Each structure stands twice: as C-alpha cells, then as structure tokens.
Amino acid sequence: MSLDSNPKKIIVFASGSGSNAVKLCRTTLNHADIKVVALFCNNPNAGVIEKMKEFDIPVVLFNRTDFRNETAFLEKLNQYQPDLIALLGFLWKIPAYLVDAFPQKIVNLHPALLPKFGGKGMYGHFVHEAVKAANENETGISIHYVNENFDEGEIVAQFKVDLNPTDTAESIADKIHVLEQTFVAETIIGLLK
C-alpha cells in the first residue's frame, strides 16, 4: 500500500441513519490513498451526523434554499475538492448544475435492479413494497452515475439476491441491507483506483 500524500477525496451525501456511510468510512481506513472528507446532510436529525464523529469527518448541513443557490453550494463542495460524490441514502434530486460541475463523478446507491423500480418516489420501503407487489424472484442494488433524471444514469455495478414467495417488504429490506454492507464501499472505492 503506497502512502499517497494526496489521497482521492470522497464527499458523502446522506439523509438518514448512515449505515452505508459508516461502512464506507471504515473501509477507507484500509486505503491510504482514499479518504472521506465530508458528509453533506439535508436532515438535521439524521442519525448519520452523530456517527461521523467517530471518524472525525466534518458535517455540512444544508436546506433546499442552500441547495438551489448554485454559486454558494458549489463553493462549499469545492472547499473539499472531491474526486467523487457518493449519494448513500440521499433522497433529493441532484440539480443539473451539480451534474454539470461533476460529470461522471456523482454516484448513487439505489435499492433495486435498475431500470426496474426507479424514478421519483422510489426509495426505501416504497421500492421493497413495489418489488414484493410485482412478485419478483430477485432484486438487488444498483450503483450508478447520476444524471439529470432520477435513477437513469449509467450503471456502474449491480448485485443481486434471490427472493422467495414468503419474503415480505421487511425481509427484502434486510436482504438489500446485507448486499449494501457487503458491496457498496468497495465498489465506490474501486471507482477511484
């Protein structure tokens, strides 16, 4: 492992509990050449905020007004000079100005096998309920680059899990969580290698 004095930098965007953000932070500890440099969060009550203290990672809170203020928001992001922005449980649509400023440098984690079960309003339990209602025999996760449309960017990687007729939306969520914890961090790190 080479000690790179100038590691590649990841900014994580998250809105919730942050289990995938924590896994990514822990995994980067084994990679001297890659570092999570900031968490951007749009939910002041998100569990992820407290969890970032363990890693001494600064948290930048923002609201919709901040997010729409192109100049000021880009300035905040550029302070950290990110090589990659990872959306790990971040629920807002990324505005076109950010897609333009970071082409093929923003990735999203989606809890289904895109292009199925993607689009506006398809997140969390809504996805798992839709997968169950469609009687799918498999589901999974998709990691994809972000473009101007919800869940339509180029897919980087997908990981699948089999479903049984007895699966519920809750058990599907559990299976998805295992996939995320197993594959997401290393996949994201791999994009910077």
User: What are the sequence ranges of the domains in the chain?
Assistant: 8-190
The pLDDT, as a whole number, for residue 1 is 40
DSSP 8-state class, residue 1: -
Catalytic-role residue among 31, 110, 125, 177? 110
Active site residue 110: yes
- Written as tens digits, the pLDDT of the chain (193 aa) is 445 468 999 999 999 999 999 999 999 999 999 999 999 999 999 999 999 999 999 999 999 999 999 999 999 999 999 999 999 999 899 999 999 999 999 999 999 999 999 999 999 999 999 999 999 999 999 999 999 899 999 999 999 999 999 999 999 999 999 999 999 999 999 999 8
The pLDDT, as a whole number, for residue 157 is 98
Fold assignment, 8-190: Rossmann fold (3.40.50)
Q: What is the pLDDT of residues 47-71, one digit of tens each?
A: 999 999 999 999 999 999 999 999 9
Determine whether 48 is exposed, middle or buried from the number of CB atoms within 10 Å of its CB (0-12, 13-18, 19+): buried
What is the per-residue DSSP string for 77-97?
Answer: HHTT--SEEEESS--SPPPHH
